[in-house]
Amino acid sequence: MPSSDTVHIIGAGLAGLAAAVRLSAQGRRIVVHEATGQPGGRCRSYYDHVTGMVIDNGTHLLLSGNHAAMSYLKAIGAGHLLEGPPSAEFEFIDLPTAQRWTVRFNDGQIPWWIFDKSRRVPQTRVRDYLPLMRLMWTSADKPLSELMRCEGPLYERLLEPLFLAALNIEPLHGSGKLAGRIIRETLALGGQACRPLIAPGGIGDAFVAPALRTLREQGVEMTLQHPLHALVFDGDRVAGLDFGEETVSLGEGDRVILAVPAYAATVMVPGLSAPTAFRGIVNAHFRVDPPARAPRMIGVVNGTTEWIFALPGRVAVTVSDAGDLIDMPRAELAQTIWNEVAKVLGLSDTLPPWQIVRERRATFAATPEENAKRPQPVTRWRNLVLAGDWTDTGLPATIEGAVRSGHRAAELVAGEARSKKAA
């Protein structure tokens, strides 16, 4: 590709940003077009006037084995902005009984923790863990409930909360193939791949602002509030980008990476197979100083609350596959969640300043049916590549999946340029 050729990236979520960062080092013209006034997409922070705090649309959890996300953070100089314990530990509480337990994975790949009563899930036996081996290599995609026994202490006290968080769907209905992949990329690699990492200073400061700085330094153009209305097709290529008031004509060497959500892509790309069902996530934010001894992160079993994050000057709660909670009156929901938080952290029942963030289409529904609809990045138009957490990454809709899809799209565009040069 001659250096004057342009790569247009549509959508400045993490997939689009990751693609732009990957390509930016290669000295070609890149223009990112974002529909809204703020890059980051589903991974963003903003100032909330009600609580007087900068909050995340959702506290995003990564695992140390998310290698694409780590390499993206490294490329934008932000690796140090994630924090987590030195080894993989997950603390849980059963809300009705207040029983607490901590699962402690050992660092290496041989899972000694399963053989150690003080590290594994209480009331479990070594043989309870064997079905996980089968799940890792399952080939046909079926609901998890058809592939393993979804009951008992191991399931209820570790696997259910883990799969619910990662798949954002009631795990019984979740894709067994995606669940198996999660195990393969985390537990099977040992504790050093499972350290939980969060951005205590906010996801905007960790994942977005440093990327924008990097892209600016590399001369990448970023146009905000510039929604693409339609792709203009001509035979086997995209010939133009229709932004409503203007249409940008594409030259022979120009390329397009479409990194918008599935529901936006299906409107623009004829005949595109993509997930059409989605699941919501609710986050609650409370302006309060957590007790000094509060765990940074604790999983809650048998409550409305699923994960509590104790951060400087605030407490955040995540509820995945939030279903009916999305439409519950906000004040009632805040009080319900706060009552649980107060119980777990030993705080007063008095509701502190709060905010509820409801993301109705947080992720595609990770069922076998929806998973089967995910497309490959290459399309039948030779200059159009797809990216996004909903494309066929083999992973659930996560930061890791979004970044991998962005990298893959960038490599497809760059690889094609390399082979042209060599010819």
Which residues are at the interface with ligand FAD (CB under 6 A)? 10-16, 33-36, 41-43, 57-58, 60-62, 227-228, 259-261, 264, 281, 283, 359, 362-363, 388-389, 397-400, 402
Using the minimum distance from each CB to ligand FAD, give the nearer residue, 264 or 342: 264
Least Cβ distance, residue 420 to ligand FAD (angstroms)? 28
Using the minimum distance from each CB to ligand FAD, give the nearer residue, 122 or 357: 357
Dig out the tokens for 104 from the structure. Answer: 């402690």
Using the minimum distance from each CB to ligand FAD, give the nearer residue, 379 or 398: 398
Least Cβ distance, residue 312 to ligand FAD (angstroms)? 19
Distance of alpha carbon 138 from the chain centroid = 23
Long-range contacts of 83-89 (CB under 8 A, 24+ apart): 83/197, 83/198, 83/199, 83/200, 83/296, 84/195, 84/196, 84/197, 84/198, 84/296, 85/195, 85/196, 85/296, 86/195, 87/191, 87/195, 88/64, 88/191, 88/192, 88/193, 88/194, 88/195, 88/196
φ, ψ at 310 (rounded to 5°): -95, 115
Specify whether the backbone of 339 is left (phi greater than 0), alpha (psi in -120 to 50) or beta: alpha
Characterize the bridge pairing of strands 307-311 and 297-301.
antiparallel
Using the minimum distance from each CB to ligand FAD, give the nearer residue, 120 or 177: 177
Least Cβ distance, residue 409 to ligand FAD (angstroms)? 11
Using the minimum distance from each CB to ligand FAD, give the nearer residue, 148 or 169: 169
Least Cβ distance, residue 313 to ligand FAD (angstroms)? 21
Using the minimum distance from each CB to ligand FAD, give the nearer residue, 16 or 210: 16
Least Cβ distance, residue 148 to ligand FAD (angstroms)? 23
* C-beta nearest to ligand FAD: residue: 13
φ, ψ at 29 (rounded to 5°): -75, 130
Report yes or no: 184 and 194 within 8 Å, Cβ to Cβ: no
Report yes or no: 36 and 25 within 8 Å, Cβ to Cβ: no
Using the minimum distance from each CB to ligand FAD, give the nearer residue, 39 or 111: 39
Least Cβ distance, residue 238 to ligand FAD (angstroms)? 14
Least Cβ distance, residue 60 to ligand FAD (angstroms)? 4
